[in-house]
Amino acid sequence: MALLMVFIPLTIQTEHKQRRCVMACIEYIYSVSALVGSGICNGNCEFCAGKYLRPQANNNELYWKNYESAIKLSARYGGWSLSLTSSGEPTCDPKSITKALEIYQKCAAQGAYFPNVNLFTNGILFGDEHFCETWLPHWKRLGLSNIAVSIHSIDESKQACAYGISQYPHFETIFENIQKYGIGLRCTLLLRRGGIENVSTYKEAVHTLTNIYGVNNITSWPIGNPDGSRNEFTPSRIGIASIRLWLKKNTKFCHGHIWGGGVYDYNGNILRLTDYVTRHNPKKDFVRQLVVFQDGTVAYSWIREGALCMK
């Protein structure tokens, strides 16, 4: 009889696990990424991933309603990060960033607080001292904690070329203007064929950013198509593998991301390597991020097909 009493719970537990493999209930929604603004951009990248979304950019009440709902939903399921981005360059429409942060502040006051509130940018306007003085103090008061500057090359002339502009502001000026107002600085190394594409170019970029500019928080992901597939700008698999191997040998592994990639300690600096996008898997019990598109759609992934949450 004792054996039977032990055996039955184990059977039930096994059946429960089998059922969860077929269809899982969401237990965590780790973050929210929201596209804000008009879609205008001060760059002209030939590999722009957001261009196809620009026709959706409009200021409508459904967008702001669903944006607020996404923040509250993610917070309810353990969310810890809100990221503001755009189908263009978000800083070209600073009023939309302000509104997004005002709504976030309202949510935070109601308990939907995120320890990380990030703004992703090409950094161009942060080279303008007047722009920074006008907007950064206000955005900090509204909860902005980090600004992540996208880096295609640590050579400013090559950075300008990648963004299709004649001249890119000095990195030192951009970084000082951001940190002057007490906002955290992050850099996003965009791994791209012909740019930062293998271990030698990756090491050079990391060493320059950490040792010369004092950047201590660097995230990297390979450029690809909006659906997560590879394209002509995606680094070779060997190049990405060489970066992973260098991280394994020269850093201390902190933890992995359940959706892929991980976080590393490099001489006291944070290095992250992750995927550009993660396709939503309904058999998993987590969502990497809720994505708020500019037409008001909220999806469980940047790949919307089969991942709709609100519309």
- Per-domain boundaries in the chain: 26-310
The pLDDT value recorded for residue 23 is 58
Which residues, 6 or more positions from 72, have their beta carbon under 8 angstroms from its beta carbon? 107, 110, 112
pLDDT tens, N- to C-terminus, the chain (311 residues): 333 333 334 333 444 444 444 557 899 999 999 999 999 999 999 888 777 787 787 778 899 999 999 999 999 999 999 999 999 999 999 999 999 999 999 999 999 999 999 999 999 999 999 999 999 999 999 999 999 999 999 999 999 999 999 999 999 999 999 999 999 999 999 999 999 999 999 999 999 999 999 999 999 999 998 888 899 999 999 999 999 999 999 999 999 988 888 999 999 999 999 987 888 889 999 999 999 999 999 999 998 888 999 98
CA distances from 218 to 10, 188, 210, 287, 299 (A): 45, 6, 9, 23, 26
Helix (H) or strand (E) run with residue 99 in it: helix 94-109
CA 87: distance to chain centroid? 13
| Phi, then psi, of 286 in degrees rounded to 5 | -135, 160
Q: Write down the residue that tokens 């509104």 correspond to.
A: 99
Integer Cα distance of 127 and 129 in angstroms: 6
User: Is domain 26-310 annotated with CATH 3.90.550.10?
Assistant: no
The pLDDT value recorded for residue 4 is 33
Burial readout 268-286 (b: 16 or more C-beta within 10 A, e: otherwise): ebbbbbbebbbbbbeebeb
Length reported for the chain: 311
Integer Cα distance of 311 and 296 in angstroms: 6
The pLDDT value recorded for residue 184 is 98
Integer Cα distance of 179 and 264 in angstroms: 23
By C-alpha distance, which of 125, 130, 83 is closest to 104? Answer: 83
Q: Report whether 93 contacts 58 (CB < 8 A).
A: no
The stretches of 143-228 forming alpha helices (DSSP H) are 156-163, 171-179, 199-207
Integer Cα distance of 84 and 75 in angstroms: 16
The pLDDT value recorded for residue 239 is 97
The pLDDT value recorded for residue 241 is 97
Integer Cα distance of 306 and 209 in angstroms: 39
